[in-house]
Amino acid sequence: MNTNENPMLHVAVMKDNPLKNMIVDYVGNKNTNDEQEGEIPVTVQMIAETLATEFPEFMLVIAEENWIRGYKQGLDDAELHKTETTTDS
């Protein structure tokens, strides 16, 4: 596993509400072949890859929002650092 990778990507998702149940079942069925018996553990990464393939507009909105929030946080941190540096001098 990459040290820059979120370990939560590889955790199996528990079916503890109706939406998760539907998503986990769908992704599990998409990733199961005829030789496999029973249910396979479905991870967050498997769900993200399936959504990216089958519902890219949803993933794009999430990625854009994440980027905007990260960029704004970086600007806020830079401004705070600038203010702290100016008042410390």
Percent of the chain with pLDDT over 90: 65
pLDDT exceeds 70 at position 66:
yes
Domain boundaries, the chain: 1-53, 55-89
pLDDT exceeds 60 at position 38:
yes
pLDDT exceeds 90 at position 85:
no
Buried b (16+ CB within 10 A) or exposed e, 48-72: ebbbeeeeeeebeeeeeeeeeeeee
pLDDT exceeds 80 at position 22:
yes
